[in-house]
Protein backbone atom coordinates (compact mmCIF):
# COMPACT_ATOMS: atom_id res chain seq x y z
CA UNK A 1 0.00 0.00 0.00
CA UNK A 2 1.44 3.38 -1.04
CA UNK A 3 0.90 5.68 1.95
CA UNK A 4 1.95 8.81 0.07
CA UNK A 5 -1.01 8.78 -2.28
CA UNK A 6 -3.71 6.89 -0.40
CA UNK A 7 -6.67 8.94 0.83
CA UNK A 8 -6.97 8.96 4.59
CA UNK A 9 -10.09 8.23 6.59
CA UNK A 10 -10.97 10.51 9.53
CA UNK A 11 -9.44 8.10 12.05
CA UNK A 12 -6.28 7.85 9.97
CA UNK A 13 -5.83 11.62 10.24
CA UNK A 14 -5.70 11.33 14.03
CA UNK A 15 -3.47 8.27 13.71
CA UNK A 16 -0.87 10.40 11.95
CA UNK A 17 -0.80 12.91 14.79
CA UNK A 18 2.43 11.51 16.35
CA UNK A 19 4.24 11.67 12.98
CA UNK A 20 2.94 15.19 12.41
CA UNK A 21 4.12 16.20 15.87
CA UNK A 22 7.61 14.84 15.18
CA UNK A 23 7.73 16.83 11.94
CA UNK A 24 6.47 19.97 13.66
CA UNK A 25 9.09 19.58 16.40
CA UNK A 26 11.79 19.31 13.75
CA UNK A 27 10.57 22.63 12.33
CA UNK A 28 10.03 24.59 15.54
CA UNK A 29 11.97 23.02 18.46
CA UNK A 30 9.08 24.28 20.63
CA UNK A 31 6.61 21.66 21.92
CA UNK A 32 3.80 24.18 22.45
CA UNK A 33 4.14 25.65 18.98
CA UNK A 34 4.48 22.17 17.46
CA UNK A 35 1.22 21.04 19.07
CA UNK A 36 -0.50 24.20 17.83
CA UNK A 37 0.75 23.56 14.29
CA UNK A 38 -0.52 19.97 14.38
CA UNK A 39 -3.92 21.11 15.65
CA UNK A 40 -4.12 23.75 12.92
CA UNK A 41 -3.10 21.19 10.30
CA UNK A 42 -5.72 18.67 11.37
CA UNK A 43 -8.39 21.39 11.49
CA UNK A 44 -7.48 22.53 7.98
CA UNK A 45 -7.59 18.95 6.68
CA UNK A 46 -10.99 18.36 8.30
CA UNK A 47 -12.25 21.64 6.85
CA UNK A 48 -11.07 20.68 3.36
CA UNK A 49 -12.91 17.39 3.68
CA UNK A 50 -16.12 19.10 4.87
CA UNK A 51 -15.99 21.57 1.98
CA UNK A 52 -15.92 18.67 -0.44
CA UNK A 53 -12.40 19.25 -1.70
CA UNK A 54 -11.86 15.52 -1.77
CA UNK A 55 -10.07 13.18 0.51
CA UNK A 56 -6.92 14.31 2.26
CA UNK A 57 -3.84 12.30 1.39
CA UNK A 58 -0.87 11.73 3.67
CA UNK A 59 1.44 13.84 1.54
CA UNK A 60 -1.12 16.67 1.53
CA UNK A 61 -1.33 16.54 5.32
CA UNK A 62 2.41 17.09 5.73
CA UNK A 63 2.29 19.84 3.10
CA UNK A 64 -0.44 21.56 5.13
CA UNK A 65 1.80 21.33 8.21
CA UNK A 66 4.71 22.94 6.37
CA UNK A 67 2.44 25.68 4.99
CA UNK A 68 1.11 26.43 8.48
CA UNK A 69 4.66 26.67 9.82
CA UNK A 70 5.79 29.05 7.07
CA UNK A 71 2.69 31.18 7.58
CA UNK A 72 3.48 31.52 11.29
CA UNK A 73 7.11 32.37 10.52
CA UNK A 74 6.12 35.03 7.96
CA UNK A 75 3.83 36.64 10.51
CA UNK A 76 6.55 36.50 13.16
CA UNK A 77 9.09 38.28 10.92
CA UNK A 78 6.57 41.00 10.09
CA UNK A 79 5.91 41.68 13.77
CA UNK A 80 9.27 42.02 15.45
CA UNK A 81 9.19 41.46 19.18
CA UNK A 82 10.64 43.82 21.74
CA UNK A 83 13.49 42.64 23.84
CA UNK A 84 12.88 42.16 27.56
CA UNK A 85 14.48 45.46 28.59
CA UNK A 86 12.26 47.52 26.29
CA UNK A 87 9.19 45.63 27.42
CA UNK A 88 10.07 46.30 31.06
CA UNK A 89 10.64 49.98 30.35
CA UNK A 90 7.38 50.30 28.47
CA UNK A 91 5.49 48.82 31.41
CA UNK A 92 7.26 50.89 34.07
CA UNK A 93 5.18 53.53 35.79
CA UNK A 94 7.09 56.52 37.14
CA UNK A 95 6.84 56.97 40.92
CA UNK A 96 5.45 60.12 42.34
CA UNK A 97 7.69 61.94 44.76
Reported pTM? 0.65
Q: What is the pLDDT of residue 1?
A: 38
- Nearest CA to 35 out of 27, 25, 45 is that of 25
Domain ranges of the chain: 10-91
User: What is the number of alpha carbons within 13 Å of residue 13 lying toward its C-beta?
Assistant: 22
Q: Looking at the predicted structure, is the pLDDT value of residue 56 above 80?
A: no
Higher pLDDT, 30 or 56: 30
Q: Which of 60, 69, 59, 9 is nearest to 39 (CA)?
A: 69
Amino acid sequence: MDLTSTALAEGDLRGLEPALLRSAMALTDDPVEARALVAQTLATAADERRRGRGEVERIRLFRLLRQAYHSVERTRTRRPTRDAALTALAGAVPREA
